[in-house]
Amino acid sequence: MGDSGNEYRLLMPLIPALLIVPVLAIAGVESVDAAFLIVLAPFIAFPVILISGQLYNGKPTWKETLKEGGVIGLSSLLVSLSTAVWILVDYLRGAREISEDAGGRVAASWIDWISFDVLHSDYTMSSERIIGVGVWVDSVTLMLLFVATFLCFLICWFSLGYMNTDPINEDRNHRFYAEFVLFAMGMFGMVLADNFLWLFIFWEIMGLCSYLLIGFYFWKESAAYAAKKAFLTTRVGDVFLMVGLLILYDIYGSLEFSVIFADPSINGTVDSDKLFWALLMLFIGAVGKSAQFPLHVWLPDAMEGPTPVSALIHAATMVNAGLYLVARMVPFVDVGHHGVPGLDELGLIVAYIGGITAFMAASIAFVQNDIKKVLAYSTMSQLAYIFTGLGVSLWFYNNGKTDAATLVFGGSMFHLFNHAMAKGMLFMASGSVIHEVHHAHDHLHEGGDHDHHDFDPQDMRNMGGLASKMPITSAAMMIGSMSIIGIPLIGGFWSKEAIVAKTWKASLDYEPLMFGPAILVLLTAGMTGFYMSRMWFMTFAGEPKHEVVEHVHESTPWIKEPLVILSIISALGGFGLSVFGIVKWLAKPYSYDLGINKDSFLDQVVYELEHAFLPDDPNLRIVGWTTIFLSLVIGPIFAARVHGGSLREGQTSGPLVSWLVWLSGKFGSQDVTEMSQSSLSEALQNRLYFDHYYELALSKTVLPFATLAAWFDRTVIDGIIKKVESNSVLGSVQIRRVTTGRASDYILMVAVGALSIFALAWGVSG
């Protein structure tokens, strides 16, 4: 840890990376044609970091100046980020005509990658273009692309501080950064892909990298296990996804978005049952990737990876991949635009899965003591919100209620944005806490007996009162939690409100079956208020619960800047963007601009506020205020009663958070020891026994089959191969006698061979 001012000169390599986009723009390149740079930059950085890491490991320049490859990764991600911003700006300026027929997209297609001739059943040949290389840019792509590039950049920045100051990572960081950029490439590529096959390829690249990154500390048994679990669980989903893609190909004869989305119903000839199964398979793939019930079990364990990885996987990229896939299903069901009617069960299924996961994850988060696990369950729960919203929007689209569908689709995507920003920041803030607590612990026990294994720097029961030690982190975490909870006017409130309201609207006005998800998301709003407040209070408020806390300092460079930037975005982004109409823009970029759609800015603000707090529908007004009441009042107050408390005498906290600490002490305290020993609590501690039952099921079904297969492999297959091998050895001994080594014999053989060929040719020619 050097002088932090001095550290920033390491950012010099970023300047050329920043110059690439202006140079291209001056050279007259179209922004969308430059999109390949977004994927290419990390793709190049990956081998560069890996190979130079192997070559220069341990050299001072490599370690100090290049941060073991971190600066290279940061530069490549900056190229991606700046290109993404360029495309975004161009898109918003309307540099290219965006038409409604094209679904509001700007696409570029560069080359045909796979194309082949197809022999049809009537013996006619036709040449078909299967897969090209190109990009598909619309508002959803741009939003996700911005989120992914921006967060990857910030997380890489954060990693420079987090990873490179931990002695346990010494000389291994180049692997981290290499895997990091490859992962980032997977996400960028997936978002930009203009057909389902490329989407699937990048999807799998992400899966591989998540395995590598979660298992970064592979010598820890738990980390290796978690990596394996994450890989296998998502694999289950991936297999379904692949099946779904095959069905889609069977239906449309192509996997390209431009072909499929041009007319998903093929003039109304598509069999809706078949399409339903295809989309359901795709959805199961998304469930695996986004850790939804019942394939959610990998996500909490994935916290074994380094904290930046948690931020990367669980906020910025991988879990959003599933949501993106579901968002891409909209053209299939949008009956207003050539969609296929009769698919509304799909929307119901998506909404139910979302509702169940939201509630379940929130309830498990109640009892977790590991700060990162709370965030993991919170991620699951919030993603489930988005799934619910997407399910409702699919249902609306399929029943022709396009206006409502548009609002809830945009709201869901907007929630994705808010959640990604807030959750990325929360993970980094928790990383900051963990990092500093860990360092303080090392510092405290310097020279003495190390009791590393007894002390868990991630356990919130070892923290408390950190608000005075870590002003920036505590403020950042407060804002992030507020955004997640949905405190009015901050961040996620705007999007969550839209999801909850529209779900209730669907259930009250149209479809009684939607009541399940509706009530679940409403309850979850309050539960979110509880567990997020609980996390904050346990960490930052109250008396310190461990001596280590006294030695914590907020001093590592590189860690604070991302927190500050993301705090500002989380706090103001929700309100600002929703005033500018992002919700409608995300769903219909061809009808709505991201900007002032009303007469004036003030009108817009008033309209949005009115829409959020005083909707016309009296039912929705009740629902809206119930949500606010639950998340703002009930949840936090319960949390404050159980875990709140003022700081120790003489300690002061930052001005931003002091009111909260003070407030948390005002609700008295309640002993919950008895409650925490109840069987429900125990079940929640054990994550509702999902892992247990999964393992039981696997041991009853897969393991016996695997044993049988192993026996078959060893005795039958290996037996045949061994027999072939021994026989061919015997045979070769016999044949070897022919090779006398005498040149004249060889000439004779050549002559006989030539003669036979001659005779054959003669005979054939007749």
Interface contacts to other proteins, rule CB under 8 A: 736, 739-744, 747-748, 751-752, 755, 762
Of 534, 556, 567, 314, which Cα lies nearest the Cα of 437? 556
Q: Find the shortest distance in angstroms from Cβ 725 to other proteins.
A: 20
Cis status of the peptide bond prior to 294, with omega within 30 of 0: yes
From CA 563, how far away is CA 148, in angstroms rounded?
A: 16
For other proteins, the closer of residues 27 and 738 by Cβ is 738
From CA 518, how far away is CA 528, in angstroms rounded?
A: 15
Q: Find the shortest distance in angstroms from Cβ 765 to other proteins.
A: 10
From CA 410, how far away is CA 594, in angstroms rounded?
A: 12
Of 290, 38, 311, which Cα lies nearest the Cα of 156? 311
User: How many CA atoms does the CB half-sphere of 391 hold within 13 Å?
Assistant: 35
For other proteins, the closer of residues 712 and 758 by Cβ is 758
For other proteins, the closer of residues 730 and 752 by Cβ is 752
CB neighbour list of residue 22: distance below 8 Å, 6 or more residues apart:
none
Q: Find the shortest distance in angstroms from Cβ 727 to other proteins.
A: 20
Q: Find the shortest distance in angstroms from Cβ 739 to other proteins.
A: 6
For other proteins, the closer of residues 600 and 765 by Cβ is 765
- For 275, the enclosing helix (H) or strand (E) is helix 272-289
Cβ neighbours of 247 (radius 10 Å): 19
Supply the DSSP string of 75-114, one letter for each residue.
Answer: HHHHHHHHHHHHHHHHHHHT-S---TTTTS-EEEEEEEEE
For other proteins, the closer of residues 168 and 760 by Cβ is 760
Q: Find the shortest distance in angstroms from Cβ 754 to other proteins.
A: 10
Q: Are 523 and 629 in contact (CB under 8 A)?
A: no
For other proteins, the closer of residues 708 and 755 by Cβ is 755
Q: Find the shortest distance in angstroms from Cβ 743 to other proteins.
A: 4
Residue written as token pair 């069901």: 333
Q: Find the shortest distance in angstroms from Cβ 745 to other proteins.
A: 8
Of 530, 149, 474, 446, which Cα lies nearest the Cα of 316? 149
Q: Find the shortest distance in angstroms from Cβ 729 to other proteins.
A: 14
| Paired sense of beta strands 125-137 and 106-119, if any | antiparallel
User: How many CA atoms does the CB half-sphere of 236 hold within 13 Å?
Assistant: 19
For other proteins, the closer of residues 89 and 759 by Cβ is 759
CB neighbour list of residue 292: distance below 8 Å, 6 or more residues apart:
286, 322, 353, 354, 357, 380, 383, 384, 387
Q: Find the shortest distance in angstroms from Cβ 740 to other proteins.
A: 6
For other proteins, the closer of residues 120 and 736 by Cβ is 736
Residue 263 is encoded by which pair of tokens?
């007319």
For other proteins, the closer of residues 610 and 745 by Cβ is 745
For other proteins, the closer of residues 219 and 762 by Cβ is 762
Residue written as token pair 């839209």: 498
Q: Find the shortest distance in angstroms from Cβ 746 to other proteins.
A: 9
For other proteins, the closer of residues 119 and 743 by Cβ is 743
Q: Find the shortest distance in angstroms from Cβ 45 to other proteins.
A: 44
Cβ neighbours of 567 (radius 10 Å): 24
